[in-house]
Amino acid sequence: MNKSFPTRMVLLRKERGLSQKEAAARLGVSQALLSHYEKGIRECGLDFVVRAAKLYHVTCDYLLGCSESRTGLTGFFTADELEQDREMNIGTIYRAAARLLEAVNIEWDTVLGDRMQWLFALSVYNGLITSSQAGFLPKDAIHFEPQAAGLLTSGMMEAITRSIIRSGAEAGVIAHEDRLPQCMQTLILESENYIRRNVDQYLSGGEMR
């Protein structure tokens, strides 16, 4: 095992606020064995690497020092500015989401990073509910009653949003970059334009365009 693994195991455990005993229990090993892994005295098997990656919500590549990206998103969605980032399309949305999740997981408390991930996940889940009701997905794809699922999801997203804002304010989080990536700029601008175009229709219950 390389030198990065022990260092990152200790770092991630402390970020999660876990004692060595607590982490060992969750990983299914003795505290003594985990101590040896964290000190680099013994090498672990691949099954342990996978369990640790799942516990700490990072990739195996990050744990093993093969990548600096905790989520693996940066490697897939390149951080380079692309010309198509200036257009509002599904690729721009994916890239903006990836850049944001990457920034949150690296710069913030990892618990907040988890909350941001659930905010995205529940947003997509809302889309799945709608698609199921519209017939684009099987009707039994959603296991809750659709209307209740939509209300609960929206409510939980609002609660998570408040939690992220409150925690960020309490921690005194400051943006580490002066300039937003172009994909984020495009998403913000086009979303705000969409809201301006549709606010009257939304308030009156009309069809949005």
Q: What is the mean pLDDT of residues 86-108?
A: 79
Q: Look at residue 209 and tell me if it is in a domain.
A: no
Number of structural domains, the chain?
2
Identify whether residues 48 and 92 lie together within a single domain: no
Same domain, 131 and 200: yes
30 and 63 co-located in one domain? yes
What CATH number did the domain enclosing 53 receive? 1.10.260.40
Q: Check residue 177 and give its pLDDT.
A: 62
Are 83 and 186 in a shared domain?
Answer: yes
- Considering the domain architecture, whether residues 83 and 143 belong to the same structural domain is answered as yes
12-70 pLDDT tens trace: 999 888 999 999 999 999 999 999 999 999 999 999 999 999 998 888 988 998 887 77
94/181 same-domain check: yes
* 197 and 146 both lie in a single domain: yes
Predicted pLDDT at 166? 86
* 142 to 117, 119, 157: CA distances (angstroms): 20, 18, 18
Chain segment 100-155, per-residue pLDDT in tens: 877 776 555 667 778 888 999 999 999 999 999 999 999 899 999 989 999 999 99
In which domain, by residue range, is 39 found? 4-68
CA dihedral 160→162→167→173, nearest 10 degrees, is 110
pLDDT at 1: 59
Asked whether residue 153 falls in the same domain as residue 123, the answer is yes
